[in-house]
Amino acid sequence: MFDQKACRIAVCTSCKDKQSGERQGYALIETLRASIAADPQIDAQFQVSGVACMAGCDRPCTVGFHGQGKASYLFGDMTSEQDVADIVAFAKQYATLQDGWCSSVDRPGKLRKSTLARIPATLFSHPMSAEAAE
């Protein structure tokens, strides 16, 4: 059954390490899931899943954040245990940000300098009626 949570961390399963050529995404997913499961507050809000490619291929491994009504992020160069700690720290921060928006200086550790994209939340407006458009 699909695990529906408010936020998602997407990890690229296609990125290859520049030195070894190995795909690190699956190991990163496993470590992230264990770290998040250890904190019931963020575990209730985040699912961690794999994505085949997020178009950040030159900066392996890429990790994305998105949530309902929140800004989305794409980070690159996520490889080490310390990176996992930074990702988990950002998950805690992201959960508290109503619109998900924050500056690079406010992000933890390596996430300050490894942001490839920050995309504002989608704002839907009601379509204008034909009468109102006249």
Binding site for ligand FES (CB under 6 A): 12, 14-15, 53-57, 60, 62
CB of 102 to ligand FES, least distance (A): 23
Nearer to ligand FES, 44 or 57 (CB): 57
- On the CB side of 13, CA atoms within 13 Å amount to 10
Pairing, β 46-51 against β 7-12: parallel
Nearer to ligand FES, 45 or 115 (CB): 115
Nearer to ligand FES, 42 or 77 (CB): 77
Nearer to ligand FES, 14 or 47 (CB): 14
CB of 55 to ligand FES, least distance (A): 6
CA–CA dist 100, 121 (Å, integer): 8
Among the listed residues 19, 27, 28, the one whose alpha carbon sits nearest the alpha carbon of residue 75: 28
CA–CA dist 15, 22 (Å, integer): 8
CB of 16 to ligand FES, least distance (A): 7
Assess contact for 57 and 16: CB atoms under 8 A: no
CB of 12 to ligand FES, least distance (A): 3
